[in-house]
Amino acid sequence: MIDYIKGSIYQITNDAVVIDKGGIGIKILMPSTSLKKLSEGQETTIYTDLVVREDDISLYGFIDLHERQMYQLLITVSGIGPKVAMNILGGMNSSLLQKSILLEDLSILTQAPGVGKKTAQRIVVELKDKLSKMDSFVPSDVEVQQIHSLDNPALEALIQLGYQEKEANKMLQGIDKDQPIELILRQALKNR
C-alpha cells in the first residue's frame, strides 16, 4: 500500500490532483472539498488509499488522516464503494460527516451526492458504533445546534445578509417553516 505521497502539485482537475514526484506525475483522485484547499505549485502531503480492481487501479487521496479514516469507514458500508465515498466526502468535510452520523442526522447525509434516505440510514446503522468508539469527536450542544442550522436555508440566508446566528434564530421564532423561503424571510425581516 502507498500510505502517502509528498511532492509538488503539478495540476488540479475536477476530481484529481497530479503530484510531481521525481519527474513522474502521479494522478490521485480526491474529494472536491479537499481539492479546493490546494493550489498548483504547492508542496504538499496527500494521504492515500490504493484500490486495485480487476479492470482498474486507482489511487484515492486525502488532505488529512481523519478524512482518509472516514473514507475507509464509508467503504465498509454495504453498497458504498470508493467512488460513492468520494462523492460523500466531496459534499461535506469529514468532521461534518462524522458529526451527522453520530447525531443520526439523515437530512445532512442525504445532501451528499448519491445518498438517498436508505443509504443514509445504512451509513448511520453501520458506522455509528464504530465512530462512537473513536476519540476524535464528541459533539457539544453548540455543535449539535450548528449542524441543525445547516438544514435551515432561511437561517443561512439571514446569516448571509449579515445577521448574527443568534439574532437570525430570534427573527425566525414563531414563523411557520413549511412556507416558501421567500415568505419566511419576509416575515423574519419584519420581526427585527
**Mean pLDDT, residues 116-129 taken together:** 93
In Å, how far are 84, 102, 170 from 114, measured between CA atoms?
7, 20, 34
Same domain, 72 and 46: no
Sign of CA dihedral 106, 108, 109, 113: positive
pLDDT at 134: 73
**Mean pLDDT, residues 132-156 taken together:** 57
Number of domains in the chain: 3
Whether residue 7 contacts residue 21, with contact meaning beta carbons closer than 8 Å, is answered with: yes
- Please check the confidence at residue 171 and state whether its pLDDT lies above 70: yes
The CATH code of the domain that includes 22 is 2.40.50.140
Percent of the chain with pLDDT over 90: 46
Residue with cell 498548483: 40
pLDDT at 120: 92
- Please check the confidence at residue 149 and state whether its pLDDT lies above 50: no
- Please check the confidence at residue 69 and state whether its pLDDT lies above 50: yes
Same domain, 70 and 124: yes
Same domain, 175 and 126: no
Same domain, 172 and 115: no
Kindly state whether residue 141 falls inside one of the protein's structural domains: no
Mean pLDDT of the chain, nearest integer: 85
In angstroms, rounded to a whole number, what is the distance separating the alpha carbons of residues 179 and 95? 31
- Please check the confidence at residue 186 and state whether its pLDDT lies above 60: yes
pLDDT at 91: 87
pLDDT at 68: 94
| Final residue of a structural domain among 62, 96, 111 | 62
Kindly state whether residue 176 falls inside one of the protein's structural domains: yes
- Please check the confidence at residue 153 and state whether its pLDDT lies above 90: no
Same domain, 109 and 87: yes
The 10 Å CB-count burial string (b at 16+, else e) for 50-85 is: eeeeeeeebbbbbbeebbbbbbebbbebeebebebb
Same domain, 17 and 55: yes
Sign of CA dihedral 103, 104, 107, 112: positive
Same domain, 10 and 49: yes
- Please check the confidence at residue 145 and state whether its pLDDT lies above 60: no
Kindly state whether residue 76 falls inside one of the protein's structural domains: yes
In angstroms, rounded to a whole number, what is the distance separating the alpha carbons of residues 162 and 144? 22
Kindly state whether residue 34 falls inside one of the protein's structural domains: yes
Same domain, 33 and 44: yes
Kindly state whether residue 137 falls inside one of the protein's structural domains: no
The CATH code of the domain that includes 87 is 1.10.150.20
Q: Is 152 helix (H, G, I), strand (E, B) or coil?
A: coil
- Please check the confidence at residue 192 and state whether its pLDDT lies above 70: yes
**Mean pLDDT, residues 65-85 taken together:** 93
pLDDT at 144: 45
Q: Residues with Cβ < 8 Å from 14, sequence gap 6 or more?
A: 32, 35
Kindly state whether residue 17 falls inside one of the protein's structural domains: yes
Same domain, 119 and 70: yes
Domain membership of residue 91 as a residue range? 65-132
pLDDT at 169: 77
DSSP H/E element including 169: helix 165-172
